[in-house]
Structure 1
Amino acid sequence: MKKIVFLLVLFLSSFMYAQYQFPTCYPAHEPGKTYRQGEKASLNGINYTAKWYTTAAPGDASWQNDGACGDGGLGPDYPGPQRIIGYLPTWIPDYDIKNNFNPEVVTNINVSFLMFKRNNSDYNSADFGSIAFDDFQLRKVDSVLTDCKVLEKAKAKNVKVSVALGGATDYAFLWLMTKYYNNDQKLEEIANLLVNYINARQLDGIDLDLECWWADKAIAGTSDQGGRIRGSKWGDRDQGPHPAAIGMTNLSKKLRQKMPNKLITAAVFGTSWYGNNYDADVAQYMDWIGLMTYDFTGSWDKSPIGPHSSLHKLPLNTYPKQNADNPIYSAQDALEYWLGIAPATWNHDGGFGVKKAKLAIGVPMYGYDFSQKKPGGGNGAKFVPYRDIIAEFPNAATSYDQKDPKKLNGHVALNNKNIYFDTPKQAGEKIKYTKNYGHQGVIIWELTQDVDYNSSSSILKAINEAAGNNTPINKAPVVTWKTPTDNLVIEQDVLGAVALKATATDSDGTVNAFSFKEGANVITAAKNGNDYTASFTPASFGEYALTAEATDDKNATTTKTIRITVKQKNTTNPAPVISNVKPLDGSIIEQTTLTEVQLEAAVTDNSAVQGVTFTIQGITIPAFTNPAGVYAATWTPSAFGNYSFTIVATDDEGASSTKTVTFTLKEKSTGGGCDNIPAWEAKTYAQAGTEVSHNGDVYKNKWYASAGEEPGKSGVWQYIRPCGGVVTFCGVEEWRSDRVYNSGDKAYYMEKIYAANWWTQGSTPSSSGDWSFDSDCPQTPGRSAVNEVKPQTLVKDFVNIQINTEEEVTGKIELYNLSGQLVKTIMNPRALNGKEVIRQNISDLRNGIYVYKIFLNNEVITQKMVISK
């Protein structure tokens, strides 16, 4: 019976708060009056009872908070139509924003994230952050706004566009707000920087996402800022807002003065652990405050297992690990906290007093799969985008958590999965809730994770229908190139026609117009069903951008651009091609005792190979052809150490090719190899800590590993060391493009040490935002050579060429396209001596294949380079 009474009381309490219906207020508090124990008074929509004799105002420890009264001090309802505020990220590689995103599915777009410039990895340094934007993030945001035409299309649909500043990794924002929170001059500089950006881009406003209240092991000096005391149910002293939050309030005040008619908004944590850091005074300068009412479960290791974004309160002890000390919060809980009517807890005395018309609540387009840990060894459960949930479980949109009496929280427990997420029904209920109870609308993280809008499973469609927006959204045509393919190199004796073919379809209408374009030149296409064909004759050898463009009957346009290179065939006799050389360049060969080494290479020619030789330690060894048709020679070393050998191949017309390969011959260390470690098999590894060898490396599983989780590709497997033992430079291993790195892992690259910011694979440390510079690595043994050149062969925005010389030489570096045209001078002629890294911005060049020419005195070194952005 007690259990039934408890649940009834909990339900009634929840009902009262959710409806914002409160008891009559006690008599208004009279300043200066003496109150005795038990006497009652109200202040700012809260009822109080004196605990003992007091002359203090309510809010002091001498008063007991009896809860909200009257209108609770919540203010009037939001009068406008409900806002649908969608965050649009810049980093989703498999989502075509330009062609697939329809701005009219929301009322407001926040392009995420613009960030401040971070100068180093020491948060305690004097110059950790700059009053300047991070160049890489700035380019990405601008690209979404302009290249992807988000701003243009949004304005055409009367959708407001803001830029979101900050986010979960912008520690420079947190640092600047903490350091300069009361520095009027610096805050003025920051405000001017932001205002100038917004005005220059003709944006509608800015969204301030001050997060990073936690430690990042890759950034020294960071610490968790959660658990700040803002009063308590025992009357503890309020520590006040975090200095960074005061800085954000002061910055918002300046922004409001400079942009009285622009949107100034914020996204904040919904509950008190991190929410206590904020300053409620910021609300007076805000158009709205978006409560991030998600991640209430799933994002930390000791999380309860249950819904992570419930609209309604969840009774205690309903889900695993859920209890009074580890609750599962809801949007209702977060609203009560920010409204200031929440029950007092150990670290707050009721929350903030923000008016209800200023608040919006969150809708996540993702879930958490509690059957799997976060990949890469991160904290919490596996994050799963909503579209991936629907792809695997088509009925998930209409599923619901069996423990939820309202049948709103989504839950899938099939195929050994345990996923909690928001259903379309719950998303619709959230925006209706904000309408019914006077709030401003919903914020959505994030727009690329939904399914197709016209699908019955779409979260965005459910929100719009619940808000009364039932206009169907036109889908843009789908364009697919057939020929030529992107980055194709076409060789021709003389310039001739290139055949073009693409398909264009429209699922909710018809394709009204189609054309090919070469630059600005339109090429008329012939139609055959859904296929379109044409021919294009290049004016000269070189690179060309070709675009296929389709427009449907509702004027939606899709463009797909490819790049090709038209190259003149080499009419002279080509030299033989040397490939598949063994040992591999840079490899380490372990031997217990010195034994012969097999040198191998595959050699091909358009005519016939006349001869192949291997030269090592000044000795030339004629090659023989083994049964596999590979040229080989045997060589017996006299000592362990570093070696290089040169292959010379000559064809029957006298043309020859050479290739030099360096390797290390190392005495085999007992216990350092993989002889006694079983090879990985595509099977289940249920026991954590099992070591396996795979592709020359040793791995250990951190938890249960399924048959499809391959070492080096899945985060369940932790990299331990190479099979041949660890070769280190300045205490860390050399960077490898095939290796997975997790946050904090370090790697040696081009005489520097870098630390990974998060999970990454294949991104070059010196030119990728996935890495942060850690320290210099001076004069590394075995890495210096006379006139050694290390060009970079795969490039995005910057090219790095390392040149090591033992004496002064005159150097020059030029970059050519495949037609032999000079396209950029990387380095003008100058003296080189010792070790240098030549770095040059090539972001102005198109994707494609180029050729370096590196001139060192009278020697010319050539090397291909691929630009892929």
Structure 2
Amino acid sequence: MEKGFNKTKVAGIIAGFLFVSTAAQVQAAPTHDKNVIGYLTQWEAWKGTNAGFSVKGEATHLNVDMDIYSILNFSFFGVAKDGSLHSGDLRNKQIYKPGSVQEPGPLLHPDVYSSWDFHILWGELEYIHQYPVNEPWDAENLAKVKAQGFVKSGNGWRHKPTGIEGDMPIPLKKEGGAPGLIDLANQKGVKVMASLGGWSMSKHFPEMAADPVKKARFLKDLDKLMALGFHGIDIDWEYPGFGGMNFAGDPADFANFEQLMEDIRERIGPDKLLTAAFSASTAKLEGFNWPRLVKSMDYFNMMTYDLNGAWSNVTGHNAPLYPYPEEEFKGLDLDTLRIWMAEKGIPSEKINFGAAFYGRGVQTTEAEAYLGAPTDKRIYNMSVDGPLLSAVDVDNWKEFEGSPNYNYIVKTTGWEHKWDASAEVPYAVKGKYFLSYDDVPSMKKKAQYIVDHDLGGVIVWQVHGDIKCEGTFINHGTKLKECTKLSSPLAEAIDDVFSADTTPNAAPELTVPSAQAAVAGETISFTVSATDADGDSLSFSSADAQITDNGDGTANVVYTAPNSATDIVTSIAIKVTDGRKTATKSVVVNVKGSGVVENIAPELTAPATVDVESGQNVVITVTATDADGDTLTYSASTGKVTATATGADISVTAPTTTTDTTLNVVITVSDGQAATQQTVVVNVKAEGGSVGDTWNADIIYNSGDSVVYNGITYIAQWWTKGETPGTSSAWVEEDTGEVGGWSASKTYNGGDEVTFEGNNYRAKWWTKGDQPGNANGPWERI
């Protein structure tokens, strides 16, 4: 990536207001070809010594090492209910509440005393408290405001070059003062993006992207951002198709997102940057048309952090590089995501992975915390998310609500720091508390991983998380502070790796035989081999066959051909890896058919249970498939069977009863040669009762919603859909104060009480699936 650029000045902007002279520009950014993209927030500047900084106002653009960063994302502008954009300072702090919306507001917060917007974007300011009049005594002020493009607008002002409006005072750039973010970046050859959305300001993305009128309003505000001098747009919609804070996702979001990217590209032109932040969970990425996105977008910024935290049921890593045995959910790591994206054909040079300059602290139920320990949750009122069931550690990290910056972590004593050789990241423990974070060694490993796999680079959340002033401060007015000697150890670690004169890791070279022949059902074997230019040890694998690694760069492959009546052509995918890069080739197998047609029984899908009230009718819907494509017929031990396009509906009338009872309905599907049966249990509720289960896999639930499942009432902890209560951390059993019956699918913590076979028991520690009654088990009789 070429770091230097020539910026065409925005028409009508007076030289010296938003841009410095091109003669003063210095190419200071690094010469390597990797992206180092840093998020620079407009709220971090408020934080002072209690948050790890030397002074309030240290966390601004003046204290960012622009010799390291290639792109800075100014974060965030929000999306309002009409599609317009607004300053992040005007975020509705009640947006987490049901029914709350974001009202429109100014693009930059007009109050220069309560906001850092103008101080960061325009630099050191001087104020004029009323619009100058055309009189000799006010001539100097009138000349200043006109030179910088300000005109009177009502009781306030309007900046003609950008269309930005505000109230008094007029925020003039001070002549000879400290430059703003975009001016300074232009001097250094660094680009600045306007980042839109974020976790708490994405609510109106879906409706804006789906509504042409609202989208037009959105695109009109992009014109203002580009006129301010931004070099591109970064979208942080969290999350298309899945929803986020106080809004649900919809499958249509994916296509709407893709169209929005194309609309933005057309609006800002081909020479500007267009990027977006994406979840690191592959489940949230499947719905995108990646070839379409590749055409319109420059980079995909993958948020490979926040993968575990206070919401987790067990302690885990915030940003693991690789999988590890203690992980709660598989696949939430950088390596797994990279492999998935490679298999999708996404160009590696467009992929930037996340670098976390902060940690995640949680409390556990254990006296001594450890990786994989059960977390200790309670309702905690978060400043952004509102009340949540959370294990957040605010005893040690209160100022950060459990997410301390790296520069604060390294100042904090009393923690035992450890290294996970599987995930290749550090963590720390102190009593019952657990902290996951990244340090210099883990950041170097991630940077080397990016070099080895020819990826685009990194995104840093956020640039002030690791800064330390080792010099003195120069004051630029009352707000801006500039450190004379700045240290950024994590950013410097990334830069050291990216700038090193090293040869990237070479992928192994795999050799496989030509096409093989087999008859139906026959087992064949052959040998494959591989070499590695770096001399790394190699390992072979295949999902299609059995592999025996000979340890000398060769492996034996054993494959059983499928039973087929006709001739078919299949293939075996062979993989070899050196631990960092993988090579894959396929071996074609020509299978000679047996001539014998073997019928395969149909597969039946039916619910295990259904509920119905006494004397009422219930419809059991079933589906079936047949590998042979035979015509299927359905029958049932009771009820009326009606064929449908995909299966059958069985209408059953429940008996009239005064006590709860069950009715077994045996459903059969046949292809004329073979049949498959399944029994559906119909739970009949006595007259005057109510059907127990209310949970529906197809319904979206939000935090606080309650459902009944298997007779147990559960409360949703966050947005969820299709996650079965009792098996997912999205649901927590309602605490009624009464001792309930033991359930094998429920998680219990130390002190929880249950009844089992007429006796009461108390849990001695965290347990799930351990039946009470075992004297050596986790339950004690009370």
With normalisation by structure 1, the TM-score equals 0.36
Structure with bigger gyration radius: 1
Give the structure-2-normalised TM-score.
0.40
Q: Which has the larger strand fraction?
A: 1
Highest RCO, 1 vs 2 (Cα 8 Å, sep ≥ 6): 2
